[in-house]
Amino acid sequence: MKRRLLSISLIILLLSVIFTSCASGHKELINNGEVTIPEELENKIDEDGIYSSPEEVAEYIHLYGKLPQNFITKKEAMDLGWDNEKGNLWDVTDRTSIGGDSFGNREGLLPKSDGRKYYECDVNYEGGYRGAERIVYSNDGLIFYTNDHYKSFEKLY
């Protein structure tokens, strides 16, 4: 009888430890009715950051509704002395990329909607001549990636 009572007590103790541990984990997530995201899951895209990869730039646009600070329009670049035929963007800027100009969607490969406007930006740019990789994003939250200079698109958001 004592053995059985001891076994039941140990099981109850073990279960209470398990449930208490699980509950304390949830206290970190829910605080006064507000959900708090654990640090390891927090977004690593900083509004003041500099980004070039398609994934990072797309997430930045998705989060902040604008391009990162390391992008300038073609006109801004030309005003600084950029000549596309020379591939000298990094010679006349502080390692910026081209972005923010209108994209016409003339081929009609992207979804159309009243009032929708598309913009483009270079991604994975490493100086010199511009490559084929672009992010094309809309004023209403759509974000696409092309690695073949607008021949095909992958929807990211």
The residues carrying an active-site annotation are 120, 149
Q: In Å, how far are 66, 88, 141 from 123, measured between CA atoms? A: 14, 17, 18
Residue 128's closest CA among 87, 73, 156, 100? 87
Strands 154-155 and 118-122: unpaired
Do the beta carbons of residue 89 and residue 127 sit within 8 Å? yes
Report how far residue 80's alpha carbon sits from residue 26's, in angstroms, rounded to the nearest whole number. Answer: 53
Q: Which amino acid is at 154?
A: E
SS3 128: coil
Which helix H or strand E contains 35, and what residues bound it? strand 34-35
